Structure 1
Amino acid sequence: MSKLFTPTRIGSLTLKNRFVRSATWENMATEDGHMTDKLYGIYRELAEGGVGLIATGYANIVADEKPNAGMMGMYDDSFIPEYKKLTDLVHQHDSKIMMQLAYGGTKTTYNLGERVIFAPSEVAERGTQTLGKAMTIDEIAYIVEAFAKASLRAKESGFDGIEIHAAHTYLINQFLSPYYNQRTDEYGGSFENRMRFLLEIFEATRKLVGVDFPILIKLTATEFFEGGLTFGETRKICKKLEQVGADALIISGNIHGKAIDMVGESFDGYMLEKEGFFHQYGDVISREVNIPVITVGGLTDIEAIGQIAENTSIECFALSRPLLSEPNLIKRWEEGDRSPALCETCSKCRTKRGNFCVVNKERKAQIAAL
């Protein structure tokens, strides 16, 4: 148990504990992605609540690509002053904060027909059925550069690192996936070619932000369907990312809201568990690389998390929905109240008015008052 509240390092960054707030789209930014008082309030509460490392909701890297309403932006320098205010606020409470950067691609149903949506190939996303435009080489270079420039803005804003979202069927994940990537050029076909887009993003980003600025990569363990990215391929991706200098890996799934119904089922030889849906995958990877591995998904019980920490090499534990219900959860656990999180894993927290717990009545009142 005590290990969870001991310091750890991710690259040059020291965290006060092993708890991460996983990147969560809040749906509370302005129309063009700028900060609001409610967003500042959310992050202040998380920092006050004892979270060691906070990941922001995903931020779009180009102005003309916005997969969700109310999401944060990082596509030009106008964001830097307000994010300096955000990072200063978090640092006042001895927490660290990183910005998640993403190109959503076809994992969206937002404003379809009003914008061009890039994809590796003309293959519809399985959940949304949205079809994107197969990218040209010049368009690939444009997005690579956009990731790097957004990362530099994050560094200039005082963020402690960045998280590149390469999971959950967003654009980078689709390039990695043999199902979505049907290209016949140097960005498709072989496993090495399918990795090229992610590696170019990483290398361009590292060149701009320098060797001491932490870069974390979020990956899908397996795509959980026939013909998709397998866990065996993800393991190879992780080893390559360690080799090129990634600072940590976040191992997730690609089954939003469905994981709880799949507990006990096995995919690629490993089983989804009720506490820590994907931690069996993270455990394997953590024993194959020498950089920190973070597991995310279905973590609500401090005793169970402690057992995973003691019995695996997983370094950190990322939570989202439990912190929507109780932003002070980590502090509560550290101070001795180790009852499980109030979160019921019902996934009803995504509402048109923003993402918040609709079960915890006290929390609903707090959100309304922000």
Structure 2
Amino acid sequence: MKNDYPHIFSPLTVKNMTIKNRIVMMPMGTNYGEQNGEMSFLHINYYEQRAKGGTGLIIVENASIDSPQGSNGTTQLRIDHDNYLPRLFKFCENIHRYGTKIAIQINHAGASAVSSRINMQPVSASDVPSKEGGEIPRPLSKDEILHIVKKYGEAAKRAQTAGFDAVEIHAGHSYLISQFLSPITNKRTDEFGGSVENRTRFCRMVIDEVRKQVGPFFPIMLRLSADELMEGGNTLEDTLEYLDYLQEEVDIFDVSCGLNGSIQYQIDANYLPDGWRSYMAKAVREKFNKPCISMGNARDPKVAERILADGDADLIGMGRGLIADPAWVNKVATGHECDLRKCISCNVGCAGNRPIRCTVNPSVLEGDVYKKKHVNKNCNVVVIGGGTAKEHRKTSASSIRISS
């Protein structure tokens, strides 16, 4: 292993979990799940390639804690019943063979659910759609909120039983907890709305219930939209304030940004520079002195190393970059950076309701199978067209503003 990136390749211990390096695979929907919500063998192949490629921690895509009401996506994973445990257990066994740690993201879609898929009206904090032109949801009653809190705890316990090393609660990106946290979507006048303390109450109850179920030594991660980047939404300063009510039982902050209405920042547009979000993770890390994940077009290992060395974050999140090249970590570790197949942020095959594909990686599930193929006799080859390309533009984080 080369020592050009000492921070990337240093281990990190959080509670009873030691991650062998600082690269984390972010949770991204794959649409590989079975129709009943069970993890498929396509899933296992897909994640196993990323573990084999050296990734330190994999966060499995969001799993529904209460279906059908809380589900999103066409074939989303479920973790709301014990019958999903056997396949999840098999998955954890396979991934652990590579020394990779695994978390699973647990989630309730709220108003981001689609009525034609769940066969009922979506629910939320208030009757405010999660995006412009979206369906009007039904506000949850207090009894329903308490029921969902219990479902989060039960889901976390199942994750622990299946063999996951940590659990991540999704509190960002316009899903249910985010809909309670954001003043854009929370118009309640009871104890779950209005003040910062009230808007954080549901999330705090979820975290407390998860901790009660998994015990004191199992890491809890919280994914959040640190800056919603929408007029009237939570700013980074607002988030630092509301995290005062949530941080006590959180072990790792997964610092993302954006809502449905600012999705170009949530799923980074290609003009945004590598590591542009790191200032958000830095702000959370400095205030709460807890490990933070930074992400955002993390393609260049030199940028990842700098973010870690500067203390902006403790872990580097990669989503689409590990779809494009599952062996990113191993290639960097062995000095083969020239062989990196870097994501171009096209969002063509990895976003939407189809099983994910990649414009720069034709073998998303199989790995570098082309290396096993050989030309047995001389032949002429014609290359037509230049393939996919993109223009690199420099954009500073400070230039990203939402106009009023």
Query: What's the TM-score, normalizing by structure 1?
Result: 0.92
Mapped partners of 1:223, 1:231: distance in 2: 8
Contact 1:75 1:146 in 2 (8 A): yes
Contact 2:208 2:249 in 1 (8 A): no
> Could you say which residue in structure 2 is the equivalent of 1:293?
292
1:256 aligns with 2:260: no
> Could you say which residue in structure 1 is the equivalent of 2:196?
191
> Could you say which residue in structure 2 is the equivalent of 1:227?
232
> Could you say which residue in structure 2 is the equivalent of 1:26?
30
- Return the index of the structure with the highest Cα Rg: 2
Mapped partners of 2:214, 2:130: distance in 1: 32
CA, structure 1 residues 320+11, in 2 after alignment: closer, same or farther (shift >3 Å)?
same
Q: Which amino acid aligns with 2:302?
A: E
> Could you say which residue in structure 1 is the equivalent of 2:355?
354
> Could you say which residue in structure 2 is the equivalent of 1:3?
7
1:84 is displaced (CA, Å) by 0.8
3-state DSSP of counterpart to 2:47: helix
Mapped partners of 1:301, 1:132: distance in 2: 41
3-state DSSP of counterpart to 1:360: coil
1:102 is displaced (CA, Å) by 0.4
222-231 or 314-323, which moves further after superposition?
222-231
Mapped partners of 2:120, 2:238: distance in 1: 32
Mapped partners of 2:130, 2:175: distance in 1: 9
163-172 or 355-364, which moves further after superposition?
355-364
> Could you say which residue in structure 2 is the equivalent of 1:99?
104
Contact 1:342 1:360 in 2 (8 A): no
Aligned length: 359
Please give the per-residue CA displacement for 1:319-353, whole angstroms capped at 9, x wherever unaligned.
01011111111111111122454210111122544
1:281 aligns with 2:280: yes
CA, structure 1 residues 46+364, in 2 after alignment: closer, same or farther (shift >3 Å)?
closer
Contact 1:67 1:109 in 2 (8 A): yes
1:361 is displaced (CA, Å) by 3.4
Q: Which amino acid aligns with 1:361?
A: P
Contact 2:268 2:296 in 1 (8 A): no
> Could you say which residue in structure 1 is the equivalent of 2:64?
60
Q: Which of 65, 84, 89 is the aligned partner of 1:84?
A: 89
Q: Which amino acid aligns with 2:174?
A: T
1:355 is displaced (CA, Å) by 1.4
> Could you say which residue in structure 2 is the equivalent of 1:35?
39
CA, structure 1 residues 283+343, in 2 after alignment: closer, same or farther (shift >3 Å)?
same
Q: Which of 157, 168, 171 is the aligned partner of 1:166?
A: 171
3-state DSSP of counterpart to 2:288: coil
1:69 is displaced (CA, Å) by 0.9
RMSD across aligned C-alpha pairs, in angstroms? 2.1
1:323 aligns with 2:330: no
Please give the per-residue CA displacement for 1:266-287, whole angstroms capped at 9, x wherever unaligned.
xxxxxxx611231111111111
What are structure 2's unaligned runs of at least 5 residues? 371-404
1:80 is displaced (CA, Å) by 1.0
Give % identity.
Answer: 28
**Residues 135-150 of structure 1: matches in 2 within 5 Å?**
135-150=140-155
Mapped partners of 1:257, 1:365: distance in 2: 29
Q: Which amino acid aligns with 1:344?
A: I
CA, structure 1 residues 127+309, in 2 after alignment: closer, same or farther (shift >3 Å)?
farther
Q: Which of 151, 159, 166 is the aligned partner of 2:156?
A: 151
> Could you say which residue in structure 2 is the equivalent of 1:266?
none
**Residues 230-249 of structure 1: matches in 2 within 5 Å?**
230-242=235-247, 244-249=248-253
Q: Which of 188, 211, 214 is the aligned partner of 2:216?
A: 211
CA, structure 1 residues 368+25, in 2 after alignment: closer, same or farther (shift >3 Å)?
farther
What are structure 1's unaligned runs of at least 5 residues? 264-272
Mapped partners of 1:239, 1:285: distance in 2: 11
> Could you say which residue in structure 2 is the equivalent of 1:16?
20
3-state DSSP of counterpart to 2:293: strand
225-234 or 70-79, which moves further after superposition?
225-234
1:364 is displaced (CA, Å) by 7.7
3-state DSSP of counterpart to 2:263: coil
> Could you say which residue in structure 1 is the equivalent of 2:343?
343
Contact 2:181 2:199 in 1 (8 A): yes
1:32 is displaced (CA, Å) by 1.5
Contact 1:174 1:181 in 2 (8 A): yes
Please give the per-residue CA displacement for 1:86-137, whole angstroms capped at 9, x wherever unaligned.
1111111100001100001122446257123210000111246122110000
Contact 1:257 1:347 in 2 (8 A): no
1:186 is displaced (CA, Å) by 0.1
Mapped partners of 1:80, 1:260: distance in 2: 33
